[in-house]
Structure 1
Amino acid sequence: MRLEAEGVMSLELQATDGAPLPEWTPGAHIDLLLPSGLVRQYSLCGDPLDRHRLRIGVLLESKGRGGSQEVHGRLRVGQKLAIRGPRNAFALQPDQSYLFVAGGIGITPILSMARVAQRVGAQWQLLYGGRARRSMAFVSELQALGQGRVEILPTDEVGLLDLDAIVVAAAAGQHIYSCGPAVLLDALSARFAEAGLSERLHLERFAPVVPVPGAGTGETLKVILARSGAEVEVPPDCSIMGALRAAGHQIASSCEQGICGMCETRVLDGIPDHRDSLLTEGERARGNVMMLCVSRALTPTLTLDL
């Protein structure tokens, strides 16, 4: 455990038996199963070539749901924890040039992306914003890695990130990878949509775009499971995942807010009503996958690859 910046703790995890850990790629995250029973998702920010260590960064959120407070206040070096994963819903696609945009703790997945971009000889630049320099983690590590490619942009020193310049870079052909607070990602999404460049913007969110919908959000839905032939009715006050579980079907999940991708399922027939914060507009338009934890349907029936 190491304090990386004000309010940011990094954890380095190793297998208890010293065995190699699972392979992972930049943008991946793990589920951390905390002693209290809480499960939280954290992006990996180490080196994908290091098979003996997984590193995560955790921002202390005093008004959060309790996970970060447990990490900072109760975990100790040498303590045994369970994890699930890694999984990747924010994969870095092969390219010759990248522009990375990080806000605050959103630097964690971007750090591993920058490291791999540097290793493969790609052109890359990182814009790293935060409230103040003292709260921005991994600054020295990034500057040593980037050798002039990294701009550290604390708001209290230089103001907000120049979103227009980021859009211009995308218009010139660059793909933009960004992670950070909702206010940054929402603003980028709006600018890129206005410019017709949404497909060049790749985002990872730590929270849903909108609150997860609750009861009374639609009509009763019939879900057909193609592999078993089973049919399950999903009432308006229940998620598809909840109805399937109630009928005895095991569905893997983690965040249950539509942001981690663990419950992503292929759709064979019907039109999903996407309510997640993960799929791109293009992926939603294709309609061949959905997140069972929050999404429903625009048709009376859905057939799933389950």
Structure 2
Amino acid sequence: MRSIHDEVDVDLVVAERVDAADGVIVLDLRAADGSDLPAWDPGAHIDLQLTPELSRQYSLCGDPDRHDVWRIGVLLEPESRGGSRFVHDKLHVGAEVRARGPRNHFALEPSPRYVFVAGGIGVTPIVPMIGEAERAGAEWTLLYGGRTLSSMAFREELALLGGGRVTVTPQDTHGLLDLPALLADARADTLVYVCGPEPLLDAVTALTDPWPAGTLHLERFTPKTLGPIGDASFEVELAQSGLTLTVPPDRSILDVVTEAGVDAPSSCGEGTCGTCETVVLEGTPEHRDSLLTPEEQAANETMMICVSRAACPRLVLDI
């Protein structure tokens, strides 16, 4: 099982800020004390603690071989809940911000061939993946869609990397991505990586259903739509803390654990970032996160305690 909670807290300063596309800025972040930053692999993201109450996750999109800088791309969301607006308005060159990470639930697994699909700002984790695929000598193709050509960041960089392997599809002039053509033939030698809005993820998920298990890897911006929570309470035993707590239907495990005075790391509160991932020692979780793969959920080795619950009367957690 992969390790969890090995990320660190670090104070960063904005070293460079570039307008990369309509509504998209790219920030280069360096350690405030000038030290090297923790290493990361393609697919990783960091949490920016924008205010004491506001934390947001952003994919790293720079060069993993550079240890002096972390690069992120941030889209100003029209319906921003505060995160992207804060970044665009406040994080100018010289501004300081605290970060936690890096964390990777979207890692690029070895494969002789990749199909990458990106929608809008979902291209950010894909950029370093393509660089890694190039270094490994793998075959790859990218289908990249956006609202307009001018809103699509990293176009020039990807064109230089990919030549004819990159298909850029602005919706206003070319319509939707031609996913059926790209994913028509299931291949056992290919992994599919997709990041973007929910309709794109749903479409790729449906089209890759006939492909071999483990083919599809995706990252979500927002939590999956799930059914209502049941009306049953359950118990959680905290193995490290020696506490047994009752979780009612209207409270999360994270809420109950935190209220009991137990320190449990958390960030998004919606099962998309992975900060609260917790090892399950006994019992069967009811997974409600949008992060673990179906295989990881079936293994029941960890769970996201901000949203997931129990499919049994009692869970024992490694807290």
Q: Does the TM-score normalized on the shorter chain lie above 0.5?
A: yes
Distance 1:204 1:232, change over 3 A: same
Q: Which residue of 2 aligns with 1:8?
A: 24
Counterparts of 1:129 and 1:212 in 2: how far apart (Å)?
A: 30
Letter of the 1:277 partner, please give it: S
Following superposition of structure 1 onto structure 2, how do residues 265-304 of structure 1 map, counting pairs within 5 Å? 265-304=278-317
Matched residue SS, 1:188: helix
Following superposition of structure 1 onto structure 2, how do residues 183-202 of structure 1 map, counting pairs within 5 Å? 183-193=199-209, 195=210, 197=212, 199-202=214-217
Pick from 90, 108, 123 the counterpart of residue 124 of structure 2. Answer: 108
Question: Does structure 1 residue 52 correspond to structure 2 residue 65?
Answer: no
Pick from 255, 277, 296 the counterpart of residue 242 of structure 1. Answer: 255
Counterparts of 2:187 and 2:62 in 1: how far apart (Å)?
A: 31
Counterparts of 2:194 and 2:159 in 1: how far apart (Å)?
A: 18
Give the conservation status (yes or no) of the 8 Å contact 1:212–1:294.
no
Q: Which residue of 2 aligns with 1:223?
A: 236
Give the conservation status (yes or no) of the 8 Å contact 1:261–1:278.
yes
Counterparts of 2:246 and 2:160 in 1: how far apart (Å)?
A: 56
Give the conservation status (yes or no) of the 8 Å contact 1:62–1:69.
no
Counterparts of 1:105 and 1:168 in 2: how far apart (Å)?
A: 25
Counterparts of 2:72 and 2:260 in 1: how far apart (Å)?
A: 36
Give the conservation status (yes or no) of the 8 Å contact 2:279–2:317.
yes
Q: CA RMSD in A?
A: 1.7
Q: Which residue of 2 aligns with 1:130?
A: 146
Letter of the 2:269 partner, please give it: E
TM-score (norm 1): 0.94
List per-residue Cα deviations over 1:21-73 (Å, max 9, x = no partner). Answer: 11000000011121574211000000000101111000001212011111112
Distance 1:77 1:53, change over 3 A: same
Distance 1:176 1:196, change over 3 A: closer
Q: Which residue of 2 aligns with 1:33?
A: 49
Letter of the 2:118 partner, please give it: A
Counterparts of 1:283 and 1:299 in 2: how far apart (Å)?
A: 18
Give the conservation status (yes or no) of the 8 Å contact 2:146–2:171.
yes
- Greater CA drift, 109-118 or 69-78: 69-78
Question: Does structure 1 residue 83 correspond to structure 2 residue 99?
Answer: yes
Deviation at 1:92, TM superposition (A): 0.6
**Unmatched runs of 5 consecutive residues or more in structure 1:** none
Give the conservation status (yes or no) of the 8 Å contact 1:10–1:56.
yes
Counterparts of 1:68 and 1:117 in 2: how far apart (Å)?
A: 30
Deviation at 1:232, TM superposition (A): 1.1
TM-score (norm 2): 0.90
Percent of residue pairs identical = 53
Give the conservation status (yes or no) of the 8 Å contact 1:217–1:237.
no
Matched residue SS, 1:49: coil
Letter of the 1:232 partner, please give it: L
The structure with the largest strand share of the pair is 2
List per-residue Cα deviations over 1:242-301 (Å, max 9, x = no partner). Answer: 111111111101111101111111212211111111122222222222110000011011
Counterparts of 2:300 and 2:186 in 1: how far apart (Å)?
A: 26
Deviation at 1:227, TM superposition (A): 3.0
Matched residue SS, 1:147: helix
Give the conservation status (yes or no) of the 8 Å contact 2:253–2:306.
yes
Counterparts of 2:208 and 2:142 in 1: how far apart (Å)?
A: 18
Pick from 206, 209, 218 the counterpart of residue 221 of structure 2. Answer: 206
Q: Which residue of 1 aligns with 2:35?
A: 19
Distance 1:28 1:169, change over 3 A: farther
Give the conservation status (yes or no) of the 8 Å contact 1:208–1:259.
yes
- Greater CA drift, 32-41 or 278-287: 32-41
**Unmatched runs of 5 consecutive residues or more in structure 2:** 1-16
Q: Which residue of 2 aligns with 1:256?
A: 269
Deviation at 1:172, TM superposition (A): 4.7
Matched residue SS, 1:31: strand
Matched residue SS, 1:268: strand
Distance 1:296 1:281, change over 3 A: same
